[in-house]
Amino acid sequence: MESLQKNDIEVLLNHSKTRKAIAAVNKEAKERKSFLPSKCQIFSEEFTSLQEQTQYVFADDRETGKILPDIINNNIQKVVKGLKNFEKEKKFFFKKRNIGVVFSGGPAPGGHNVIAGIFDAAKKANSESTIFGFLFGPDGIIESKYIELTREIIDDYRNIGGFTMIKTGRTKIDSREKMDLAQKTCKELNLDVLVIIGGDDSNTNAAFLAQEFKKIGIQVIGVPKTIDGDIQVQTEDGQVLCAISFGFHSAARAFSNNISNLCTDTGSDAKYWHICKVMGRVASHLALEAALQTHANLTLIGEELADYVDKERLENSETKGVIDYTAFGITLRHLSRVICDVIMRRAANGKNYGVMILPEGVLEFVNEIQLFIIKLNTIIGDYNHIHDIDFHEIFPNLNSKLDYLRKFARGISDKGTSPIWNSRDDELFNDLPEFFQKGLLVERDSHGNFQFSQIKTEKIIMDMVKSYLNVSKEKGTYKVGIENDYFINTLKQENLDPDVFKDVIFSEDSKNNQYLLVKKSIISKKTLKQALLKSNLIKEEEKVPKAIMQIFNKSVPKFKTQTYFYGYDGRGNDPTQFDCNYAYNLGLTAFSLIANGATGQMAAIKNLEYKFSNWEPIGIPIAKLIHIEERKGKLAHVIEKSIVDIDSNAFRVVKALREEWEGANPYKDQYRKPAPIHLKDNNEDDIPITLILNSIKC
C-alpha cells in the first residue's frame, strides 16, 4: 500500500495514477479522433463533376417556384468522375475559396465529421482555401461571429459527438433585416459559399438564402442533420434518395443501450415499469428504431395512433344514420386504456413490471391535443399579426394567457367574436392540469414548431394510466397472477389443501393456467374473508390463514414507475461508425457540390440502406422538397417532415411482433441487447434496423 500524506491534496492530484485515471482524453477518445472514416469510391478521384439526373420526379412545385424562382429548376445531381479535358470546370474545382459553415438546430452526432469532410476536400483541392465556422448557429452569421477552422481544431473533433466545436442555435434568418446582416457578414468574409448543416427548417432556410444570395454570387448548400430522422427524401414514385439524416442512428443506439439496460433491470428487480420518453419532436422514428433495437414491452408509435378508428363508436353512430367524426383518431382516454391493457395482461402473468417507450411527440397524434395545438397556434399567430408584437411578451405568465383565452371564449376579444375558441374549449382547457396548460401555451420555436420537449408528455399519459389502473384495481380486473407452484408450496407449508382453496380464491378460467388470478370479487382482506367464510373454509372468529394472506397480498398490484427522458444525452453521444462514415461523406459531397458551382442543393447519400460500396453521393434540390403548411397560425413554405409510414416494413415488423415483445405470457421476456457503440469493427448493428427492414423488397 502506497503511503500518501493525509490532506496533502497536491500530492494526490500529481500522482501519476491520479493523472492517468482522470485524464480528460482517455485512450478510447484518442483512438476515436484518429479513426479514418471510409470514403465513397468516387472521392478517391482527383476531382469530381456533377451529372444532372432528370429521371426523378417530385410533387407539383408551382407555388414554391413563385418564391424560389432561381433554384426551383434544379435537378438531382450525381457526383461523378471529373472530366480531365474540361479545363474550365477543373479550374473552378481547384480554385481557392472561402467557405462558411454553420450548425443550425439541435445537435446530432456526426456534425463534426461533416465539417471535417468539407475541410479535407477543400484543402485537398486547394490548400489555400479557408473554412470559417460561424459560432452559435445562424446568430454567428447575423452577428458576424466566427472562427477560422484550422487543421488542429478539426483534428480535435473528428468522430466526436455534439456540435461543441462551433456550437449551434435555432435562430432563423427570416426577416429582411436578418437577411441583410447575413449578407453583410458573408460579403465581408468574401465567402464563396455558405454550408448550412441543419434539419428540415434549417434546410428550408438554406433554400431561401440560396435564392437571396444568388444575386451576390454566394452559393448555399444544405446538409441534412437531425436525430429525429424526419428528413427523408423520396420521389413521387417512392424512390428513396435520402433514407435518413445523420445523427439518427447514434442517438437511437444511445437510447437503445440505456433502454436495454432498463429491460435487464426490470427483469431482475421485477418491481418497476420503466417509462422511457424518447425524443422526436413529432415523428416516432426514434421510438420505432428503439423498439426494434430493444424489444421493449410496449412502444407507442404516434403515427399509428392517429390512424385509430373507434369501431364501436362508428357502428353506433351508423345505426343512427349519422357519422360520428370523434370516432376517428385516438383520445387521451383511449390511449391510456391501450397502455393499461398491456400492463394488466402482463401483471396477470406475474409480471407487474416492464419497459415502455413513449415518443416525445406522441401527443401531436392525439385528437383533442392536436386540436388545442392548432387552435392556440392560430390565436397566438393572429395576435402577433394584428398587434405586431409577441403574444408571450404581453402575456408572460399562465394566468394572463388564460385570461386572454377566457376573453376570447366570451367573445370580448379585440376581434369581437371567437369562432376558434369557444366556451367548450375553455372548459376543456381548464380541466387540464396546470403544468400541461403551461406546456400547451409555451412559446413556439423560431420556426413555429410546437416545443414538445418542454412538455411532460409522460406525466400527462401516466397520470391517466395510474388513475385507470386504480379504478381497475377496485373493480378487481388488475391483479398480479400467482404462479401455481408457488401457491401449492406456500399452502403446503401451512398444511392447507391447495385444491380446496384454489376453487375459492382463484377465477375459474385461470385455474388451469401457470399463473392463477384471484377472483374479481376478492379485492380486499374483507372480501377475501367473506369468500372463505362462504365456503366454510374458516369460521367467523378465525383469522385468514397466513399462507392465504401471503398469496392475496402478492396478488395486489402496486404500480410503481420510474421515468426517463432520452433526448439530449443521445444528441451529445459520440457517433456510431455508420454516422462517422455517413457524415464524413456528406461533407465530401457538399464540397463536390460547392466545387461544381451548385446552389440551393442539399448534400445526400443515396443507397444508405445498402452496403457501403453502394453508397452514391448526390445533390438534392431543396426547393423541390418544399410544401405549404401551417406554422404559428399562418401558412408557410417549409420542407415536409417525414413521419413514420405505417405501411413501411419497419413498422409492420414491430406491429407483427408486438404481442411477442409485450410478453403478456408466463415465459421469458424477449428483450434484445444492442451491441455497444464503438468504432473498432463493423458489427451487425452498424446500420439502423429501420433502414435494413425498409430496404427489403417482398
Question: 51-60, long-range: CB within 8 Å, 24+ apart, which pairs?
Answer: 51/77, 51/78, 51/80, 52/76, 52/77, 53/77, 53/78, 53/618, 56/235, 56/239, 56/241, 57/235, 57/236, 57/237, 58/235, 58/236, 58/621, 58/624, 58/625, 59/236, 59/624, 59/627
| Residue number with CB closer to ligand FBP (303 or 360) | 360
Q: Identify the DSSP state of 159.
A: T
Closest distance between ligand FBP and the C-beta of residue 272, in Å? 25
What does the alpha-carbon distance between residue 342 and residue 331 come to, in Å, rounded to a whole number?
17
| Residue number with CB closer to ligand FBP (76 or 114) | 114
Closest distance between ligand FBP and the C-beta of residue 228, in Å? 5
- Strands in 204-272 per DSSP E: 219-224, 233-234, 240-242
Q: 3-class SS at 634?
A: strand
| Residue number with CB closer to ligand FBP (122 or 279) | 279
Residue nearest to ligand FBP (CB): 105
Q: Is 180 a catalytic residue?
A: no
| Residue number with CB closer to ligand FBP (112 or 281) | 281
Which of 192, 228, 445, 579 is catalytic? The answer is 228
What residues line the site for ligand FBP (CB under 6 A)?
105-106, 108, 170, 199, 226-228, 279-281, 360, 452-453, 567, 571
Closest distance between ligand FBP and the C-beta of residue 105, in Å? 3
Work out the angle at residue 51's Cα, subtended by the Cα atoms of residues 45 and 57, and round it to the nearest 5 degrees: 140
Closest distance between ligand FBP and the C-beta of residue 360, in Å? 6
Q: Positive or negative CA dihedral for 235, 237, 238, 239? A: negative
| Residue number with CB closer to ligand FBP (168 or 472) | 168
What does the alpha-carbon distance between residue 672 and residue 663 come to, in Å, rounded to a whole number?
13
| Residue number with CB closer to ligand FBP (112 or 170) | 170
Q: 3-class SS at 453?
A: helix
Helical segments of 75-199, H only: 87-93, 111-125, 138-142, 151-157, 176-188
Helical segments of 498-636, H only: 498-505, 525-534, 546-555, 568-571, 577-595
What does the alpha-carbon distance between residue 21 and residue 27 come to, in Å, rounded to a whole number?
11
What does the alpha-carbon distance between residue 602 and residue 622 come to, in Å, rounded to a whole number?
6
Look at residues 222, 145, 148, 141 and name the one whose alpha carbon lies nearest to residue 183. Answer: 141
Closest distance between ligand FBP and the C-beta of residue 198, in Å? 7
Label residue 280 left, alpha or beta by phi (over 0 means left) and psi (-120 to 50 means alpha).
left
Look at residues 113, 360, 108, 137 and name the one whose alpha carbon lies nearest to residue 245. Answer: 108
What does the alpha-carbon distance between residue 310 and residue 301 come to, in Å, rounded to a whole number?
17
Look at residues 57, 67, 56 and name the one whose alpha carbon lies nearest to residue 628. Answer: 67
| Residue number with CB closer to ligand FBP (449 or 550) | 449
Closest distance between ligand FBP and the C-beta of residue 215, in Å? 29
Label residue 348 left, alpha or beta by phi (over 0 means left) and psi (-120 to 50 means alpha).
alpha
| Residue number with CB closer to ligand FBP (425 or 445) | 445
Closest distance between ligand FBP and the C-beta of residue 454, in Å? 7
Work out the angle at residue 514's Cα, subtended by the Cα atoms of residues 513 and 517, and round it to the nearest 5 degrees: 65
| Residue number with CB closer to ligand FBP (281 or 351) | 281
Determine how β-strand 193-198 pairs with β-strand 98-104: parallel
Burial class of residue 640 in the structure, from the number of CB atoms within 10 Å of its CB (0-12 exposed, 13-18 middle, 19+ buried): middle
- Map grid coordinates 383520445 to a residue: 331
CA dist list (Å): 1 to 4, 14, 373, 571: 9, 18, 65, 43
| Residue number with CB closer to ligand FBP (567 or 621) | 567
CB 53 within 8 A of CB 75: yes
- Which residues on neighbouring strands pair with residue 275, listed in sequence order? 356, 563
Look at residues 602, 490, 653 and name the one whose alpha carbon lies nearest to residue 246. Answer: 602
Look at residues 200, 2, 212, 242 and name the one whose alpha carbon lies nearest to residue 106. Answer: 200
CB 236 within 8 A of CB 57: yes
Q: What are phi and psi of 683, to 5 degrees?
A: -130, 170
Look at residues 182, 289, 177 and name the one whose alpha carbon lies nearest to residue 230. Answer: 289
Closest distance between ligand FBP and the C-beta of residue 246, in Å? 10
Q: What are phi and psi of 10, to 5 degrees?
A: -60, -45
Closest distance between ligand FBP and the C-beta of residue 104, in Å? 7
| Residue number with CB closer to ligand FBP (274 or 277) | 277
- Which residues on neighbouring strands pair with residue 562, listed in sequence order? 274
Which residues are identified as catalytic?
Answer: 228
